Structures are given as structure tokens and as C-alpha cells.
Amino acid sequence: MYELYILGQLLYADHSAYKLRFILENILGANRKVSFGVLYPLLEKMETAGKLMIIEDPHSRKKIHVTAVGRDRFFELMREPVKNNAHMDEVYLFKLTSLCLVDSKLAQQIIADFRAEKQAQRDRYTENISQLMLKHADASFFKSALQANKLQAALANTYLDYVDMIERELE
């Protein structure tokens, strides 16, 4: 998951590991911390694979630079379908924040895939709400389950509004 983010950020500009960590934590949100114990081994693995190289700037600070192999890997990751797992929203977030690095056809495909996923989620939560009201209105869990499903449906709608905004910005 972080490979896509790292390569995308380095296509914008060379960064230090510290700056990559800072940007990643800001993209993921206030409650997500990324340890150097996770980041450095990944950077080393990517460097060994030829995707990155470490360079020193004129002030003797180490910066990470994406190579042609890394650039190719970035575009490969952008073209891959997003797997439905616990990190799906983060992968889409990384892809959506990197749309300006890909051609318009791929950008539109990523947007369409994200929209379809969020519409399907919203529809599942809406159906859950209906089923709760029909079959479980007297159950002890009804109120909390109803609130949770309403929240998830509202979050899906927020994501859909957000992707509409991104699509307008790309036009």
C-alpha cells in the first residue's frame, strides 16, 4: 500500500524519509502514525529493487529519488484494480491524490471504480437499514445498529460528493 504512495510522492519531487513520513501521516489523517520501523525497510527494499535511489543534495541531506523502474511500477500500481480489503480506502486515497500524474483515461477509470465501490457500499447500508427496520425493530441492538448503518451510508455519500468534486477539478 505504501509503495504506491511513496512512488507517487517522489514523482512530484525528491524527499527525505522524514518528509515522506510527514506527508503520509497528513494524508492518512491525524490518528494514523507511520513508524520509521515500517518506512525504512520498505525504502530499502524499493532501493534494492531499483525503484529508488538515495542522493545527497548540496547541503549533504539525503533525498530519495524515483528511478525509471520506480516510475514504471507507479503506473503499474495505478492501473491495478483496488483489492477489497481493510486498506481499500487508503489505496483509493493514494490513487485519487495522484490522478494528475496519469492520463485522463486512467484517471476516469480510477474515479469510476471508486464511485462504483462507494455506491455499492451506500446501497448495502441502505438495505441493511431497511432490513433492520423490517425484521429487528424490537431487538436490543436495533438502535445502535441503525445508527451505525446510517453513519456508514452518510460516509459513503460524502465520499461520492468528494469524488464528484475531484472529477470536476480534472475537467
Cβ-count burial 108-120 (b if 16+ within 10 Å, e if not): eebbeebeebbee
Same domain, 21 and 96: yes
Tell me the pLDDT tens digit for each residue of 85-117.
Answer: 999 999 999 999 999 999 999 999 999 999 999
Same domain, 86 and 158: no
SS (HEC) of 116-143: HHHHHHHHHHHHHHHHHHHHCCCCCCHH
Tell me what pLDDT residue 60 has.
73
pLDDT band at 44 (very low <50, low <70, confident <90, very high): very high
Tell me what pLDDT residue 127 has.
98
Average pLDDT, the chain: 93
Same domain, 76 and 130: no
- Expressed as residue numbers, the domain containing 11 is 1-102
Tell me the pLDDT tens digit for each residue of 134-151.
Answer: 999 999 999 999 999 999
> Cell 527494499, residue?
45
Question: For the chain, where are the alpha helices, taking DSSP H only?
Answer: 2-12, 17-28, 36-48, 68-79, 88-96, 104-135, 142-170
Same domain, 22 and 48: yes
Is the sign of the CA dihedral 92, 95, 96, 102 positive or negative? negative
Tell me the pLDDT tens digit for each residue of 116-132.
Answer: 999 999 999 999 999 99
Same domain, 48 and 96: yes
In contact, 61 and 16? CB cutoff 8 Å: yes
Same domain, 90 and 39: yes
Same domain, 96 and 108: no
Same domain, 71 and 87: yes
Same domain, 10 and 85: yes
Query: Cell digits for 65?
Result: 529519488
Same domain, 94 and 119: no
Domain boundary among 56, 87, 102: 102
How many separate domains does the chain show?
2
